[in-house]
A and B are shown apart, each in its own frame.
Chain A
């Protein structure tokens, strides 16, 4: 009798093995560092695509998101807090976050894989040594935002009649901001447009710079990609541009909803999605540094119909041929 019992037990154990009874894999732990609400669309696109790829927060994915709320001083402690955890991947939403993470990893010789969703001028700002071989365990998407500043000036030239004076706020200590300014300056020169430059480093200065402007001082405003400035768009910049009755050319479609006239660049959510595909590879075991930095696959030229109306502008036929989307 014992023989039969043992035989049956062995068979059912084998059956259990064949039918795949096993423990589920431990969830992957991802940390996300955001610098202000302007990064939210990046995070949204990232998590949506991660879910599409089979990683769902709370199931097989554990996501710890920390937001500095546009306070640069918070970036360091938040980064320390994230790096203190056993992360499978640390996601930097933007360049400022990425630079803080890099600084701390350089200091601690940490090897946590890092993914940057939104960064530009990665060579110029010495964030990586090379696009193909970054020199540390990082990858991400170079959004080319600084380089696109020239293209935005061209688009503004076509969009805004009699554009002569173009306001540009920039952060002198943020490399992409200065690079973006330079591209804008170069392009503006071709069309005889004067760049009205204002160097700002913090919210107060932005507010002061904007409030100092009087109607007629500038014909339009170009946002060069600078997180501290982007984060003041809704509360400081756009109220003032509305006061000045000047259009704003932004670099993200989401800024149109806040009041900007037009935007040109890679959609934030799309960048987030693109980053998710890189995250999938990293979580599957591919080192982050084995993935060369990518550039966006798609650029959108969006124009706000509302802003056009507010500003009393018409959309020229030539511009219509360029616009990807007119947002009501």
Chain B
């Protein structure tokens, strides 16, 4: 419904219309005001002229009557007319002057001699004595006289007039008559003021006696009872032009003039609607001019705006086409310089854009080609990855199967070893015992030569027993069949026991053994047998791989994260190990290398067992070694082991053993 003013064309139209409207309104207002003033003056002048004309016309209403009556009177007086001739003249007067309703000839005595009427018949017997009538007396005295205006039984205004017959002082009688003023109505009706203006007459009693609308007269209207302003009824020559409601209730411009001769007012009225009609017509003309001008303006501006904005629209359409992918869009360069520059700029932009797009397309094609190649490679790679994944999955499956088999085999192995070790140890102990008994028998028999062989059998048996014991331990650990016996252990006592046990090894390779430990090491809750086994195993290794050196056992107690720990450090100055050797040091049956086994002997199970035991005791074992310089094995155990840790749970537990100074062996 509401117009969209946003477009350039609409804005131009509205702007021009607004300017035009203001201009025409300004012009119209000024013209209207001046025209109104001129019109008002003109109306005022017109009404004054009309009032004057009406006064002249209506004011002379009685003149013909007076004149003709006077002629008749002169004839009666001068020629001494008889009754018949006088009647003749009276009939003519009645016929010619319709104003006269009755006419009488009164003798100087005051008695009627002749009486004629328009409506009634009067015979001689109807004649009256009117000597007492004031007007008759005045006429008989030589002066014309008029009565006040009265209204007849038919509601018509009438008056009585008396004229002398003969000069004053020598009258032969009087002529009296009844004048019906309705004849005045025709005269009043003839008074045209403008198209719908009119005149009316008000007598001295303010009664309406003549009006274009005679029904108002017949109503016996008194002007003082209407809305006509009193200022209209002044006794001056004429009133000012006044605006008021007429007798019919419409707004009029009115002016009155007092007729002193007839003692009445002639009032002229012009309806305001007609009086101001030129103004209305002028306004209509203004509106017509405005509409035509505005229409012309709209059409002109529309054409102009279309001519102006069509190239812009073409630019807009062109840009839309370019936006839609058309690249060959170019504009004809219009004649307008501004638009020509715009078109040239647009064409340059379009060309540049075309070139850029072309380059972009080429790049895009290259990119697409590369993408296709990459896609091919990706596909190949994907195929390879898929294949590798598939292979890996198969491998994993095989590995899992293998691991499962291995685990089953390991378990079987552990069960086997545990059972077999026990079965082996019994005969082996018999062999060792019997070899010792044979040595004793040989000694007693003096068979010294046999002792060396028996010694070899006993040592081999012991070595085998040791090996079997270690295998048995490892098997128990791996099979989860080892049981810890937790108790309060005095650490110093443990150290003493270890020193006592290790004493034979100290001198074997000319080594020194030093023990460092605080006397306040206190008590710890652990399995004392397994603790001793770990320390002795480590010390045995230290003495085994150290010649002419020093083996040190240092024990300390510390607190970390609100928990008490005990650290056993076994340091030697032996052959040491390489990092690679350290990495596989705690694996079963592994020593630093095969040559070590050959050179130093051993099963290669000691460290694996120690490692497992440390774990079961809630701690861990760490190693630091440098080839040729020696090794440091550190065992860290909790002071208080709340409950034994099984092999299975040890694998599941996170590694929480502190290692403040050393690299972990399991890393």
- Given the interface pairs A6-B3, A321-B88, the reply to whether A151 lies near B117 with Cβ below 8 Å is yes
The 8 A CB mask of A124-137 against B (1 = contact, 0 = none) is 00000001100000
B119 touches A14 (CB 8 A): no
| Chain A residues touching B, range | 35 or more
Closest-CB distance, A183 to chain B (whole angstroms): 9
A132 touches B219 (CB 8 A): yes
Closest-CB distance, B183 to chain A (whole angstroms): 8
With an 8 A cutoff between CB atoms, is B451 at the interface? Answer: no
B218 touches A294 (CB 8 A): yes
- Given the interface pairs A3-B13, A6-B3, A147-B119, the reply to whether A11 lies near B295 with Cβ below 8 Å is yes
Chain B residues contacting A297 (CB-CB under 8 Å) are 98, 182-183, 185-186
A1 touches B119 (CB 8 A): no
| Residue in A4, A15, A292, A323 whose CB lies within 8 Å of B219 | A292
| Residue in B10, B84, B295 whose CB lies within 8 Å of A318 | B84
A292 touches B287 (CB 8 A): no
Chain A residues contacting B488 (CB-CB under 8 Å) are none
- Closest B residue to A187 by CB, please name it: B121
B218 touches A191 (CB 8 A): no
| Residue in B17, B118, B213 whose CB lies within 8 Å of A281 | B213
Chain B residues 107-125 with CB under 8 Å of chain A are 117-125
A11 touches B294 (CB 8 A): yes
| Residue in B91, B123, B284 whose CB lies within 8 Å of A190 | B123
A295 touches B126 (CB 8 A): no
A150 touches B3 (CB 8 A): no
Chain A residues 278-309 with CB under 8 Å of chain B are 278, 281, 290-295, 297-299, 301
Chain B residues contacting A148 (CB-CB under 8 Å) are 119
- Complex: how many Å from CA A19 to CA B287? 10
With an 8 A cutoff between CB atoms, is A65 at the interface? Answer: no
| Residue in B14, B183, B214 whose CB lies within 8 Å of A294 | B214
- Closest A residue to B17 by CB, please name it: A7
Chain A residues contacting B13 (CB-CB under 8 Å) are 3-4, 7
Closest-CB distance, A203 to chain B (whole angstroms): 31
- Given the interface pairs A191-B123, A321-B95, A324-B95, the reply to whether A295 lies near B156 with Cβ below 8 Å is yes
Chain B residues 174-217 with CB under 8 Å of chain A are 182-183, 185-186, 213-215
With an 8 A cutoff between CB atoms, is A97 at the interface? Answer: no
A15 touches B186 (CB 8 A): no
B215 touches A281 (CB 8 A): yes
- Given the interface pairs A15-B291, A295-B154, the reply to whether A154 lies near B121 with Cβ below 8 Å is yes
| Residue in B3, B94, B123 whose CB lies within 8 Å of A3 | B3
Chain A residues 2-24 with CB under 8 Å of chain B are 2-4, 6-8, 11-12, 14-15, 18-19
With an 8 A cutoff between CB atoms, is A144 at the interface? Answer: yes
- Complex: how many Å from CA A187 to CA B122? 8
- Closest A residue to B124 by CB, please name it: A190
Closest-CB distance, A118 to chain B (whole angstroms): 16
- Complex: how many Å from CA A50 to CA B156? 25
The 8 A CB mask of A26-51 against B (1 = contact, 0 = none) is 00000000000000000000000000
With an 8 A cutoff between CB atoms, is B357 at the interface? Answer: no
Chain A residues contacting B143 (CB-CB under 8 Å) are none
- Complex: how many Å from CA A292 to CA B87? 35
Chain B residues contacting A322 (CB-CB under 8 Å) are 91, 94-95
With an 8 A cutoff between CB atoms, is B337 at the interface? Answer: no
The 8 A CB mask of B76-105 against A (1 = contact, 0 = none) is 000000001001110110110010000000
Closest-CB distance, A225 to chain B (whole angstroms): 14
With an 8 A cutoff between CB atoms, is B601 at the interface? Answer: no
The 8 A CB mask of A107-140 against B (1 = contact, 0 = none) is 0000000000000000000000001100000010
- Complex: how many Å from CA A132 to CA B216? 10
Chain B residues contacting A14 (CB-CB under 8 Å) are 287, 291
The 8 A CB mask of B2-31 against A (1 = contact, 0 = none) is 011101011001100100000000000000
B126 touches A190 (CB 8 A): yes
With an 8 A cutoff between CB atoms, is A142 at the interface? Answer: yes
B121 touches A132 (CB 8 A): no
- Closest B residue to A321 by CB, please name it: B91
B302 touches A291 (CB 8 A): no
Closest-CB distance, A243 to chain B (whole angstroms): 29
- Given the interface pairs A11-B295, A151-B117, A154-B123, the reply to whether A318 lies near B87 with Cβ below 8 Å is yes
The 8 A CB mask of B649-661 against A (1 = contact, 0 = none) is 0000000000000
- Closest A residue to B189 by CB, please name it: A277
B84 touches A131 (CB 8 A): no
A142 touches B120 (CB 8 A): no
Chain B residues contacting A6 (CB-CB under 8 Å) are 3
Chain B residues contacting A323 (CB-CB under 8 Å) are 95
Chain B residues 283-309 with CB under 8 Å of chain A are 284, 287-288, 291-292, 294-295, 298-299, 302
Closest-CB distance, B122 to chain A (whole angstroms): 8
A132 touches B218 (CB 8 A): yes
Closest-CB distance, B189 to chain A (whole angstroms): 10
Chain B residues 218-238 with CB under 8 Å of chain A are 218-220
B123 touches A292 (CB 8 A): no
With an 8 A cutoff between CB atoms, is B515 at the interface? Answer: no
Chain A residues contacting B260 (CB-CB under 8 Å) are none
Chain A residues 304-328 with CB under 8 Å of chain B are 317-318, 321-324
Chain A residues 142-186 with CB under 8 Å of chain B are 142, 144, 147-148, 150-151, 153-155, 157
Chain A residues contacting B124 (CB-CB under 8 Å) are 190
With an 8 A cutoff between CB atoms, is B155 at the interface? Answer: yes
Chain A residues contacting B186 (CB-CB under 8 Å) are 297
- Closest B residue to A298 by CB, please name it: B98
- Closest B residue to A190 by CB, please name it: B123
Closest-CB distance, B293 to chain A (whole angstroms): 10
- Complex: how many Å from CA A322 to CA B631? 180
- Given the interface pairs A292-B155, A324-B95, the reply to whether A150 lies near B121 with Cβ below 8 Å is yes
- Complex: how many Å from CA A321 to CA B155? 29
B215 touches A290 (CB 8 A): yes
- Complex: how many Å from CA A323 to CA B17? 76
Closest-CB distance, A157 to chain B (whole angstroms): 8
B17 touches A151 (CB 8 A): no
Chain B residues contacting A151 (CB-CB under 8 Å) are 117-121
- Closest B residue to A2 by CB, please name it: B3
Closest-CB distance, A270 to chain B (whole angstroms): 12
Chain B residues contacting A321 (CB-CB under 8 Å) are 87-89, 91-92, 95
Chain A residues contacting B295 (CB-CB under 8 Å) are 8, 11-12
- Complex: how many Å from CA A295 to CA B5? 71
- Closest B residue to A6 by CB, please name it: B3
- Given the interface pairs A14-B287, A14-B291, A291-B215, the reply to whether A299 lies near B118 with Cβ below 8 Å is yes
| Residue in A155, A157, A190, A293 whose CB lies within 8 Å of B125 | A190
Closest-CB distance, A99 to chain B (whole angstroms): 21
B121 touches A18 (CB 8 A): no
- Complex: how many Å from CA A301 to CA B96? 12
- Closest A residue to B218 by CB, please name it: A292
Closest-CB distance, B298 to chain A (whole angstroms): 5
**Pairs across A and B, CB under 8 Å, 22 listed:** A4-B298, A6-B3, A7-B17, A11-B291, A12-B295, A15-B291, A131-B154, A131-B218, A132-B220, A147-B119, A148-B119, A151-B121, A155-B121, A278-B215, A292-B155, A297-B98, A297-B183, A297-B185, A318-B87, A321-B88, A322-B94, A323-B95
Interface residues of A (CB under 8 A from B): 1-4, 6-8, 11-12, 14-15, 18-19, 131-132, 139, 142, 144, 147-148, 150-151, 153-155, 157, 187, 190-191, 278, 281, 290-295, 297-299, 301, 317-318, 321-324
Q: Which 8 A-B pairs have the closest CB atoms?
A: A154-B121, A190-B123, A292-B218, A321-B91, A3-B3, A291-B215, A295-B154, A322-B91
